[in-house]
Chain A
Amino acid sequence: MPAATRYLGKPLKRKEDPRLIQGLAHYVDDIVLPGLHHAAILRSPYAHAQIRSVDVSKAQSAPGVVLVLTGADLRGSIGAVPCAAQIPDMKAAPRPVLAHDRVRFVGEGVAVVVATDRYAARDAIDLIEVDYEPLTPVVDPEKALEKGSTVLYDGYKDNVAYRWELEGGDLKAAFKKADKVIKQRLVNQRLIPVAMETRGVVAEYKPGERQLTLWSSTQIPHLLRTQIASMLDVPEHSVRVITPEVGGGFGSKLNVYVEEALLGYLAMRLGKPVKWIETRRENMQGTTHGRDQIDDVEVAFKRDGTILGLRIHVIADLGAYYQLLTPLIPTLTGLMASGCYKIPAIRTEIIGVLTNKMSTDAYRGAGRPEATYLVERALDLVAAELKNDPADLRRKNFPKLEDFPYATPTGIIYDSANYPRSLDLALKMSDYKKLRQEQAKARKQGRCVGIGLSTYVEICAMGPSSAMPAGGWESATVRIEPSGMINILTGASPHGQGQETSFAQLGAEILGLEPDDVNVIHGDTSIVPYGIGTFGSRGTAVGGVAAYQSLMKLREKLAALAGFLLGEDPSKLVFADMKIFSKFQPKKSLAFGEVVAAAYSAKTLPPNMEPGLDATSFYEPKNFTFPFGAHVCVVEIDTETGDVRLIKYVAVDDCGNVLNPLLVEGQVHGGIVQAFGQAMLEEAVYDEQGQLITGELMDYAIPRASDMPWMETGRTVTPSPVNPLGVKGVGEAGTIGATPALANAVADALAPFGVRHVDMPFKRERIWKLMQKGSRRAK
């Protein structure tokens, strides 16, 4: 990143906002095409059942209905949902577009109706009669592993999807050397991502041009196009995917969904445009869920607080079928199990389990919040056992500055960090010493106050292609148009992160223009070069670097041309104030537009220079990046009711260099509040029949404006050596760093009641019961 900047690092207003604040943006449901038809899907009310028969005759003759199809009708016409994860000896669990013989979770599609209007389609699905033979549902992942459990798939002997392990360092020696070992079981509950915009698809087929266009609310337009073409068995160049405005994703739209293929099929079959908009209940039941791990942790340590080893056993509930990355997500927990500590030996064993529930897959953090949660809880358990201050214990186990780049026993290399600096700042901002004094006072008064700390590291900028199923690079094309206006076409697919703004800042900085001169285009596979998309905190740290490289290529070409026209050495030219001029003889100067015009009029070009100004880069990151930080929070629990109130929240995050602090703050705030949701409120609850009890927003509580206190955010800056911008990524920091801080605070508050650990979410009933038990014990 240039040392002195005009736009980089500045809190510029978002270029996305004018359309958003005026209600002028177009999300999928805002797209209307002439002759638009509507699809509705009949979904299984059973978690596990055999389909004996489906009678669609009444639905077919209902007014307005043009087509009804069942799973049996579609057999062989559309491929199954793709899964990109490859784990040795993994059992297959492919999801058909519509179930034809067996349903395996509540909400699985059984039949589809297309009608001339939305109401006719919705009414007609009620006229379809399905004869189900209910089977025993497999709901609890631990019971699913027991001998004698019902098995989800015929031909499989059990519900184990795969076993995976990763070991580094000498674990046996570590446990032998240990003065103590603590064991703890931690439940990382199933969550529902709840993007405010549900999923939706509009599909249109033009038979003359043989072009299928899909408008879909997705994070991965290009990967989706490739997969849809494959599922429908049509050439990839006859499919165009457009992601209009996308109303939140959080990983839940990093996928290929049955409805995307189904709508494409319907549009092609009918020759009519068809729309399907997911209802909120469908979204809760049938868009991927997150987390859902039972983690048994053993931590070996010395009396002086040195952590020697971690043994982790994970039961990961995968649900009934694989979505794009379902089996892969839990393995990220193993990869990040070292946290930001020097732990000589770590072993992680994962059992992926099939159950009659919706698939789990990426959800903001995706495997890393689970890792951080278990490491940070383990650290606090050790601190409590040794009666050490949690901050001191953490500091003791940080790798030293000279250890970076730091290789963990889990096989990854942390790029750069200064963990003590972020911890110190968080302690200072929160006035940690005073907080502890106040806590001691409060406890004497019988009040229940807890202080929670977490120091975290996350793996971002996903990632080197060797470690990514579909490649981990990102593309960007920069076009300087003849008038001097810039278009940056990015393969990333931002949906709220603000890269239309930050990439424009980058363009303006490098070419000496105004951000308004730079337009960012994304999410249209017919316009933008092939890209990987937005997830894994990669938008800026991979996509932004691709844009940077293309901008630099054009800058170089413009400098060569301007140097030729001015008779100046190109390396002595400066780009600023919409001019290109000599650093030492400022009179040697051309307007930016003049040089661009010369490139297009092509009358006075240097020998061997092609006309035009267009550059494409595919940036391949050589490593992941590893942002980090320290969070401190204070909770007070009402001893009468068990109500947990968050009093204070301080977050210090280090995501390397920052292109726009407004955007970074927003990402941090949002992530912390989602973490708050997991800690305090959220839990996807299935009953023993496999019914999703939390199927609406009235039952599944996401945080409201009144739930959070002000957050104080601070930042340290440790640039990443991995990329030329020194950026690391920040999209998932909050859900990774904040959840354990909140959990540690609640455990700390409950320590006087003899409570060592309590599982999330910290609902009143759960906390109150623990306090009752603890009080009785105290008496």
Chain B
Amino acid sequence: MVTVTINVNGEKRTASVPPETTLLRLLRDDFNLTGSKLGCDVGDCGACTVIVDGKAVNSCLMLAAQADGRDVLTIEGLATMDRLHPIQKAFEKYASLQCGFCGPGVIMSAKALLDENPDPTVQEIRDALGGNLCRCTGYVKMIEAIQDAARILRDEPVEINR
């Protein structure tokens, strides 16, 4: 067993887990943060995407022990008690999700993108979502929502432009 302490969604949490435990399993099984989803367990689908030290990662490909001492942001940590994050709001406004299974991963990839690049082109958004598979939506409304959220985060008036 290894003892892992991570700063998850602003809170220090510790668990003792078998060394082969992935970050995704740690979050879901030990911390009861089930927002991150297991869609393939081999890094193909991105449903498990979380942000570790500012970078979007597939939490199914990272060992829990590798996250020891690092900052992890999951979908559950994005909204505050009374306020959704602008990306979440935009996803709601555009009805960007359907079944929703890929949603947490997509939103976290979008967050990592906008943190690094506040004014991405459509192509940059598409590339940033390259590791997130969605089977329902065709991605169109996700991309629109991310553009919209980017404008709000930049404090610009919102105007949809394809």
Q: Which residues of A contact B (CB under 8 A)?
A: 11, 13-14, 16-27, 29-30, 119, 193-198, 245-250, 277, 279-280, 495-498, 662-663, 665-667, 669-674, 696-698, 702-706, 708, 710-711, 734
Would you list 6 pairs from A and B whose C-beta atoms are within 8 A, ordered by A residue?
A21-B107, A23-B75, A196-B101, A496-B100, A665-B95, A705-B139
A769 CB, nearest partner CB in chain B, Å: 28
Closest to B85 in A: A21
Pair A22/B75 contact, Cβ less than 8 Å: yes
Residue B58 at the chain A interface, CB threshold 8 Å? no
Extra contacts, 7 of them, besides A20-B103, A23-B33, A248-B99 (Cβ < 8 A), are A16-B97, A23-B75, A27-B37, A195-B101, A196-B136, A198-B39, A496-B136
**Taking the nearest CB of chain B, how far is it from the CB of A668, in angstroms?**
8
Measured in the bound complex, the distance between the Cα atoms of B36 and A16 in whole Å is 17
- Residue pair B133, A248 in contact (C-beta under 8 Å): no
Q: Is B98 an interface residue (CB 8 A)?
A: yes
CB distance from B51 to the nearest CB of A (A): 13
- Whether the Cβ atoms of B91 and A17 lie closer than 8 Å is yes
Give the chain A neighbours of B84 by CB distance below 8 A.
21-22
Q: A663-B95, A704-B129, A704-B130 are in contact. Are A280 and B135 (CB under 8 A)?
A: no
Chain A residues positioned under 8 Å from B123 (CB to CB): 706
Contact of B44 among A24, A30, A698 (CB under 8 A): A698
Q: Which of chain A's residues have a CB closer than 8 A to the CB of B107?
A: 21
B23 at the interface (CB under 8 A from A): no
**Chain A residue with minimal CB distance to B101?**
A247
Q: How far is the CB of A13 from chain B (nearest CB, A)?
A: 5
State how many angstroms separate the Cβ of B113 from the closest Cβ of chain A. 11
Residues on B with C-beta less than 8 A from A704 are 126, 129-130, 133, 139
User: A446: shortest Cβ distance to chain B, in Å?
Assistant: 27
A670 B98 Cβ-Cβ under 8 A: yes
Flag if A697 contacts B44 (CB, 8 Å).
yes
Query: How far, in angstroms, from A25 to B135 measured CA to CA in the complex?
Result: 18
**Interface set, chain B 69-101, CB cutoff 8 A to A:** 74-76, 78-79, 84, 88, 91-95, 97-101
Instruction: Give chain B residues whose Cβ lies under 8 Å from the Cβ of A24.
Output: 35, 76
Chain A neighbourhood of B78, CB < 8 A: 22
* CA of A706 to CA of B139, assembled, Å: 9
Question: Across the interface, do A705 and B129 meet the contact criterion of CB distance under 8 Å?
Answer: yes
Q: Pick the contact of B101 from A16, A27, A663, A671 — CB < 8 Å?
A: A27
Q: In the complex the two chains form, is A280's CB within 8 Å of B41's CB?
A: yes
User: What 7 pairs between A and B have smallest CB-CB spacing?
Assistant: A23-B35, A247-B101, A20-B100, A496-B99, A23-B75, A669-B138, A496-B98
Residues of chain A lying within 8 A (CB to CB) of residue B93: 13
On whether the beta carbons of A698 and B92 are closer than 8 Å, the reply is no
User: Is B133 touching A697 in the complex (CB atoms < 8 A)?
Assistant: yes
Shortest distance from the beta carbon of A37 to any chain B beta carbon, whole Å? 15
Whether the pair A248, B101 counts as a contact (CB closer than 8 A) is yes
- Contact check, A14 vs B99: say whether CB atoms are below 8 A apart: no
Which of B88, B101, B143 is A22 in contact with, Cβ under 8 Å?
Answer: B88
* B95-A280 in contact (CB<8A): no
A17-B91, A17-B95, A697-B45 known; A666+B100 contact, CB < 8 A: no
Q: Let me know if B135 and A250 touch, CB within 8 A.
A: yes
Cα distance A708–B47 in the bound complex, in angstroms: 20
Cα distance A698–B40 when bound, in Å? 10
Distance between A392 CB and nearest chain B CB, rounded to angstroms: 30
Bound Cα distance A705, B136 (Å): 12
| Interchain CB contact under 8 A, A697 and B40 | yes
Alpha-carbon distance between A454 and B84 when the two chains are bound, in angstroms: 42
Give the interface SS of chain A, mostly helix, strand, loop or mixed.
loop
Give, as a whole number of angstroms, the nearest-CB distance from B80 to chain A: 11
A196-B45, A662-B95 as given contacts; A23 in contact with B34, CB under 8 Å: yes
Measured in the bound complex, the distance between the Cα atoms of B136 and A671 in whole Å is 8
B141 in contact with A665 (CB, 8 Å): yes
Which of A196, A279, A498, A711 has the largest number of chain B CB atoms within 10 A? A196
Given contacts A30-B34, A698-B44, contact A666 B92 (CB under 8 A): no
Q: How far is it, in angstroms, between the C-alpha of A710 and the C-alpha of B142 when the chains are bound?
A: 12
Contacts of B99 in A (CB 8 A): 195-197, 245-249, 495-496
Instruction: State whether the Cβ of B1 lies closer than 8 Å to any Cβ in chain A.
Output: no
**Are B143 and A13 closer than 8 Å at their CB atoms?**
no
Q: How far is the CA of A258 from the CA of B39 in the complex (A)?
A: 21
**B132 on the interface (CB 8 Å rule)?**
yes
Among A14, A17, A197, A495, the one with the most B-chain Cβ atoms within 10 Å of its Cβ is: A17
Contact across chains for A666 and B41 when beta carbons are under 8 A apart: no
Contact of B133 with A702 in the complex, beta carbons under 8 Å: yes
Chain B residues closer than 8 Å to A280, beta-carbon distance? 39-42, 44-45
Contacts of B130 in A (CB 8 A): 704-706
Instruction: Pick from B28, B100, B127, B139: contact of A673, CB below 8 A.
Output: B139
Please determine whether B136 and A666 come into contact, CB atoms closer than 8 angstroms: yes
Contact B98 A498 (CB under 8 A): yes
Which residue, of B28, B45, B138, has the highest number of chain A Cβ atoms within 10 A? B138
Which residue from A16, A702, A706 sits with its C-beta under 8 Å from B100? A16
Q: Across the interface, do A672 and B76 meet the contact criterion of CB distance under 8 Å?
A: no
> What distance in Å separates the Cβ of B4 from its nearest Cβ neighbour in chain A?
17
Are A705 and B37 in contact (CB-based, < 8 A)? Answer: no
Q: Which of B37, B127, B135, B140 contacts A702 (CB 8 A)?
A: B135
Is B134 located at the chain interface by the 8 A CB criterion?
Answer: yes
Cα A697 to Cα B36 in complex, Å, equals 19
> Once the chains are docked, how many angstroms separate the CA of A461 from the CA of B10?
49
A247-B100 contact, Cβ under 8 Å, with A23-B34, A711-B140:
yes
Residue in chain B with minimal CB distance to A734: B138
Interface centre among B34, B44, B101, B126 (most CB of A within 10 A): B101
- Give every chain A residue within 8 A of B41 (Cβ-Cβ): 279-280
| CB closest residue in chain B, given A277 | B38
Residues of chain A lying within 8 A (CB to CB) of residue B44: 280, 696-698
Contact in complex: A698, B42 (CB < 8 Å): yes
Q: Report yes or no: B75 in contact with A705, Cβ–Cβ below 8 A.
A: no
B67 CB–A CB distance under 8 Å: no
Confirm or deny: B137 has a beta carbon within 8 angstroms of a beta carbon on chain A.
yes
Which has the most chain A C-beta neighbours within 10 Å: B37, B38, B135, B141?
B135
CA A696 – CA B76 in complex, angstroms? 29
How far, in angstroms, from A193 to B33 measured CA to CA in the complex?
28
Given contacts A21-B88, A22-B88, A705-B130, contact A196 B39 (CB under 8 A): yes
Q: Which of A22, A198, A245 has the most chain B CB atoms closer than 10 A to its own CB?
A: A22
User: By the criterion CB–CB under 8 Å, are B135 and A674 in contact?
Assistant: yes
Of the listed residues B33, B140, B142, the one surrounded by the most CB atoms of chain A closer than 10 A to its CB is: B140
A708 touches B138 (CB 8 A): yes
CA distance A756 to B41 in the complex (A): 42
**In the assembled complex, B125 has its CB within 8 A of some CB on chain A:** yes
Q: Which residues 1-57 in B have Cβ within 8 Å of A in the complex?
A: 18, 28, 33-42, 44-45, 47
- Cβ distance B115 to chain A, nearest Cβ, rounded Å: 18
Query: Nearest CB to that of B36 among chain A residues?
Result: A23
Contact partners of A18 in chain B: CB under 8 A: 92
Contacting pair B135 A194 (CB below 8 A): yes
**Residue of A196, A706, A711 touching B127 (CB-CB under 8 A):** A706
Nearest residue, chain A, Cβ from B127: A706
Contact residues in B for A197 (Cβ distance below 8 Å): 37, 39, 99, 101
- Bound-state CA distance A249–B130 (Å) is 22
Q: Does B102 contact A (CB under 8 A)?
A: yes
Q: Which residue of B lies closest to A195 (CB)?
A: B135
The answer for the CA separation of A696 and B39 in the assembled complex, in Å, is 11
Residues of B within 8 A of A194 (CB): 135
